[in-house]
Amino acid sequence: MDVKTTRHSRAQRQRIIDELAEVAGRQGGVISRRQAYRAGLTRGELRAQVRAKRWQRVWTRSICLHTGEVSLAGRQWAAVFEGGDRAMLDGESSLIASGLKNYESTALRVSVPRGVKPLRGTGLDIRRTRRWSVADTAAAGVPRTRVPVAAVRAAMWAKSDKQASLLLTMPVQQGLTTAELVGRALLAVRRDGRRELMHAVVTDLLGGVRSLGELEFARECRRRGLPEPDRQVVRRGKDGRYYLDVHWDDFELVVEIDGIHHSWATAVVPDALRQNEVVLGAAKVLRLPLLGLRVAADDFFDQVERGLVAGGWRAAA
C-alpha cells in the first residue's frame, strides 16, 4: 500500500481530518487505516493523533476518532475492516446490525471467503466459510449478510436448538424479514445437523402451510388451469397397500407432498419403497415439500405442468 510520507501543513492536515470525520460519522466513529492513508494522512500523522490521545486504535486495522467508548456500530465496522475487503458480518451479528432488538451477542461474527487468513482479537470471531457469496450481502450499511440468510446461518451456528429456533423466529416477529424469505434462504442449505429443526420452525412461521393437503393442492391446480388430480389413490405393493398423495391416472404422474416428517429416519425407507413401486409401474413421481410449495410454488407447479404435458395432457385453447 502506498502511503504518503510528506508532512502536511496544519491546514492541509486539518482538511484531511475533517474529511475522515465525515466518513467516520457514517461508520460509528471508526475508520480503517486504509481509509486514512487513502485520504492522504501519513503513518506518522496517524500515530501522532493516537499518541496525543485524540484517537484510539480498535484492534489492528481500525481507528476510532475519539477516545470514549467505541459504539456498537463502530465495533461492527471495525470487525469488518479486520476481516478485509470481502468480509461481512454474519449470523447473529448481522441480525443485530440489521436492527434485531432484545438480543445480545458475546462476539462479532465475521465471514470471509476461503483463502483469507482470519485475524484474532478479543470479541472477534472471524471465520472462513464456503458459504460466502457477494449475492448474500445487504444493499447498504455495514457490510453484512441479508437478514434471511443471516437468520438461517445464525440458527445453524447457535449453541442450542432453543437458541436456533429463537434466531429464526425473532427477525420475522420484529418485521426485519418474512417467513417466506427465510424459507427461500433455508432451501440453499443442503446439509446441516439442524436442517430438520429449521424446516419445522419455518413451517410453523409460515402459518397454516403444514395443514396443506390434497384438497388445497387440487384447488391450486384449478386456479392454474391444470386438471384436478385423483388425489389419494390406494395402490397395493409387496408388503400391503399404500397411499399416493396426488395422482393423475390418465397422465401417469404422481406428486408426493412432503411434510417435515418425510425427512425423519423412520420415514426414509417406507417413502423410498413406495416411490420405487410407483416408478416400476412406469409413472413419474414428483416430490413437493410443503416448505417449497410456499416459497417456490411457481417453480414446482411448472414442473407439475411439464409432467402432465409429458403424460399427454394439453391445456384447453
pLDDT in tens, the chain (317 residues): 555 556 678 899 999 999 999 999 999 999 999 999 999 999 999 999 999 999 999 999 999 999 999 999 999 999 999 999 899 999 999 999 999 999 988 899 999 998 888 778 899 999 988 888 889 999 999 999 999 999 999 999 999 988 998 899 999 989 999 999 999 999 888 888 999 889 888 887 886 443 445 566 777 888 899 998 875 544 444 554 434 467 888 898 888 776 554 554 445 556 556 666 666 567 788 887 766 766 778 888 899 899 999 899 998 76
Spell out the domain ranges in the chain. 10-64, 72-206, 214-310
What fold does the segment set 214-310 form as a domain?
Endonuclease; Chain A (3.40.960)
Question: What's the whole-model pTM score?
Answer: 0.69
Cell of 227: 386438471
Asked if residues 246 and 231 have their Cβ atoms less than 8 Å apart, the reply is: yes
Nearest-angstrom CA–CA distance, 151 and 176: 10
Buried residues in 9-28 as b, exposed as e (16+ CB within 10 A): eeeebeebbeebeeebeebb
Q: What is the edge-to-edge ordering of all strands in the sheet holding 246-248?
A: 246-248, 253-258, 284-289
